[in-house]
Amino acid sequence: MTAGWLSIVGIGEDGLAGLGEAAKSAIANADHVFGGTRHLDLAAPLIKGSAHPWLSPFAASIEAILALRGQAVCVLASGDPFNHGVGATLARHIDASQMQVYPHPSSFSLAAARLGWPLQDVLTLSLHGRPLDLIRPHLHPGARILALTSDEHGPGMLAKLLTEAGFGISIVTVLEALGGPSEIIRSHVAMSFALADINPLNICAISVVALPGARILPLTPGLDDGLFEHDGQITKREIRALTLAALAPRRGETLWDIGAGSGSVAIEWMLADPSLKAVAIEANAERAARIARNATRFGVPDLTVVVGSAPQALEGLEPPHAIFVGGGGSDAGVLDAAIAALRPGGRLVANAVTLEFEALLLAKHAERGGSLTRLSVDRADAVGSMTAWRPAMPIVQWVWSTP
């Protein structure tokens, strides 16, 4: 029975009472039933085959399921198996034609229903087993966020993060054990959060309110330089915005930021879309540590930081779709290694400040084509009691794409 041998049943805190007849039949007729201990307990009255609690590491259970291909296997999941659930993991190994899926309302759906929040207007975010800092880019006044947490400590930690970021008067509503007999909903102001005895199965609803000076990250590229921790080695905001436009991020792509300095370009690349990845290559260990701190504060903690000098530090890295060369790019070997590493259709953007690097970019442009642009920015500044334009150092930008 290879076709349709796997059933995935979403189950809620209401247990068997919340399941349809087809889902119940899938559990009862399975030779093997996999799930968390809580799920197996909820479905125990129907389980006739062998019950398999999830193994650690979780990948071992996936291997066990695949080894049973052709037998009747049922997997129990929380809520909707394809909404941050085990269904997404299994689908990477098993074709959809071999599955029968019986979803249950997700915790996001249940929370929205309890609060009267239209789900299409709400940001849903899974922080289960993931850094809480991922919420930072979404903290905008008036935003409504549903955040799934890992355990009973998650709500308090979220409230602390909100307070430290300047959103301390936001309302944090903790919805616990939704759909079951122990369901409870409680609200607190973030800065005075004091809920105790929180159920590990919880989701937080956040109504975001900003205090003056809150750390709000605008949605456009070219974030204020003052938001970054840096020692002066930073691509300034106007040039950064133009650089991001030239890098042209697309879903699922990876960037190398060579000579990353403060990491500003890599960080803004990742902020453009959650699917984007970046590697910041920086020779100076102190700056590399600073990049990691910046990544956390901007809510992109998954930014990879490599301490080392290019081109040697590039060896073994995942081939990129785009590369930015800023500081340290005056070595011809760096540009050659970057060009060789780019995937087909990839983009390279190099910004030169020095005459030496500019000469190298001119030569590469003559050799390979692409576009050359000279960028300059003047800022009004005080001159005695008057005001005058003070020019920043001009930038020569080479943009080149692989065939």
Level-2 CATH architecture, domain 108-207: 2-Layer Sandwich (3.30)
Taking residues 233-252, report their average pLDDT. Answer: 96
Radius of gyration of the chain (CA): 26
φ/ψ (deg, to 5) at 191: -70, -15
Q: What are the residue boundaries of the structural domains of the chain, listed by start?
A: 6-104, 108-207, 225-401
Confidence label for 149 from pLDDT (cuts 50, 70 and 90):
very high
| Residue among 391, 337, 331 nearest 361 (CA) | 331
pLDDT in tens, 73-128: 999 999 999 998 899 999 999 999 999 999 999 999 999 999 999 999 999 999 99
Model confidence at 186: pLDDT above 80:
yes
- 216: CB partners within 8 A, 6+ apart: 139, 140, 141, 166, 210
Provide the 8-state DSSP code for 4.
T
Tokens of 399: 């943009």
Q: What is the mean pLDDT of the chain?
A: 95
Please check whether residue 155 is in contact with residue 135, taking contact to mean a CB–CB distance below 8 angstroms.
Answer: no
Task: Tell me the CATH number of domain 6-104, given options 3.40.50.720, 3.40.50.300, 3.40.1010.10, 3.30.2130.30.
Answer: 3.40.1010.10
How far apart are the C-alpha atoms of 198 and 310, rounded to whole Å?
Answer: 49
pLDDT in tens, 343-360: 999 999 999 999 999 999
Integer CA distances (angstroms), 342 to 137, 220, 371, 385, in order: 29, 26, 17, 51
Please check whether residue 338 is in contact with residue 314, taking contact to mean a CB–CB distance below 8 angstroms.
Answer: yes
pLDDT in tens, 14-52: 999 999 999 999 999 999 999 999 999 999 999 999 999
| Residue among 68, 70, 64, 31 nearest 47 (CA) | 31
Taking residues 332-341, report their average pLDDT. Answer: 92
- In this prediction the pTM is 0.91
Please check whether residue 18 is in contact with residue 185, taking contact to mean a CB–CB distance below 8 angstroms.
Answer: no
- 10: CB partners within 8 A, 6+ apart: 23, 77, 78, 79, 80, 81, 85, 101, 102, 103, 104, 106
Confidence label for 1 from pLDDT (cuts 50, 70 and 90):
very low
- 206: CB partners within 8 A, 6+ apart: 135, 143, 144, 145, 146, 147, 158, 162, 170, 171, 172, 173, 190
The CATH H-level superfamily of 225-401 is Vaccinia Virus protein VP39 (3.40.50.150)
Q: Do domains 6-104 and 225-401 have the same CATH topology?
A: no
User: Which segments within 12-122 are labelled E, that is strand?
Assistant: 32-35, 50-53, 73-78, 99-102
